[in-house]
A = this chain, B = another copy of it.
Amino acid sequence: MTASGLLGEIADVGRDARRGGYSRHAFDSPEHDLRTWFVERAQQLGLDVETDRNGNLWAWWGAPGPDALVTGSHLDSVPGGGAFDGPLGVVSALAAVEALQVKGFRPGRPFAVVVFAEEEGGRFGVPCLGSRLLTGTIDAGRARGLRDPDGVTFAEAAAKAGLDVERAGADPERLGLIGQFLELHVEQGRGLIDLGSPVAVGNTVIAHGRWRFSFAGQGNHAGATLLADRVDPMLPAAETVLAVRRQARTRPDARATVGRLVPTPGGTNVIASTVDLWLDARVPGTSTPELVEEITRAARQAAEEEGCTLAVTRESYSDDVVFDEALRRSLGEWLGSPPELPTGAGHDAAILAGFVPCGMLYVRNPTGISHAPEEFAEVDDVEAGARALADVLERLAK
């Protein structure tokens, strides 16, 4: 059971013919197949698998208990995502457990491999939904009401998948079992390309959030409506896309993106009645909300000029996270002082870091591309990552 061999086993699950890459979303058919596959593989290793009240999977090596060493990641993807983001941390955890079992190691403390649900927010819009629910950093009622693009609520989809959704929400007993959480992940930028190391230790996660901008105008006929009679929400939406880039440029190291934009009704010969766009904004430090405020001002002005209305909704926000310093020091020491890297990507480890000591390992990505089919890691690097994970898990679980 090598990490790359395990990745090969799921290489055909959830391929997206239209977008390229993979679309594996919370409670859809590919994600269900991946969960089933995970349970089988974990059981083969003698682990006891349970689903928590928020849809996260826990595979226990030995009896559950306090001060547990927990490792893992997620199996869902963004729409048209790569093969590594999420699954790499899960397969590396399984491979590490087997490698430790083969050498006769038995953990000296409770030990679990976890698969978090809806890490990407690819279906219900809020990233790290499984870990946010577990930690109570999202209100359970709000989570139940989140809707996918087809209007299906999280509560409906989760219930259909067999979850008792009334019990979803903060789970302090389970959270209290976690002594440390360690997540291995493919590196998602160009950070490791020129550093000569297959593995890095994570130090910080940039503050990040998602905001929905809803412009409303008057749907009408594209041919029969004179320009002077139009109230077309596509115009302020386009102005906002440009304002996002312009305002983000004014702040060193800021990232701000509109990757999702939906005109309704969306006909070629129809002036849209509404346009929704989603802003993903991340600025190191505390100024992300300020950036969003500047963008909102520009959006509001553009909306007024066209006679449109604008509603802005914050869908999620997380502050800057610094991973546990003692754990980082240990990881660095044990792994021969690999590079330390910040990241602009969000992770379940960053949500949990507000509650328990957390650490991350990144595996080199020679394309520097992520959330896209070109995301990649060489087999040698994948195996180096799994070995590094096994190595530190052995030391931590002694």
A residues near B, CB below 8 A?
16-21, 23, 78-81, 120-122, 125, 127, 151, 187-191, 206, 208, 210, 218-227, 229, 232, 234-235, 237-239, 241-242, 245, 248-249, 253-255, 257-261, 263-273, 278, 280, 282, 343-346, 368-374
Contact = CB atoms under 8 A, between A and B. Distances in A.
Contacts of A282: 222-223
Given A23-B265, A190-B229, A227-B245, 4 more contacts: A80-B267, A227-B248, A242-B242, A259-B265
Contacts of A208: 223
Nearest to A188: B224
14 contacts: A78-B270, A79-B267, A80-B270, A206-B223, A218-B374, A223-B346, A224-B344, A226-B255, A227-B248, A232-B245, A235-B242, A237-B241, A239-B242, A265-B372
A147 to B, nearest CB: 11
A19 to B, nearest CB: 4
A241 B232 CA distance: 11
Contact of A372 (B218, B238, B248, B368): B218
Contact of A238 (B78, B227, B242, B255): B242
Contact of A189 (B224, B255, B374): B224
Contacts of A221: 188-189, 344-345, 369-372
A263 B242 CA distance: 15
A249 B345 CA distance: 42
The interface centre, meaning the residue of A122, A220, A280 with most chain B CB atoms within 10 A of its CB, is A220
Contacts of A255: 222-227
Contacts of A226: 189, 253, 255
A219 B266 contact: no
Contacts of A373: 219
Task: Identify the interface centre among A191, A224, A272: most chain B CB within 10 Å of its CB.
Answer: A224
B227 A372 contact: no
A126 to B, nearest CB: 10
A269 B234 contact: no
A125 to B, nearest CB: 7
With most chain B CB atoms within 10 A of its CB, the pick from A81, A253, A266 is A266
A256 to B, nearest CB: 8
A370 B224 contact: yes
A371 to B, nearest CB: 4
Contacts of A18: 151, 264
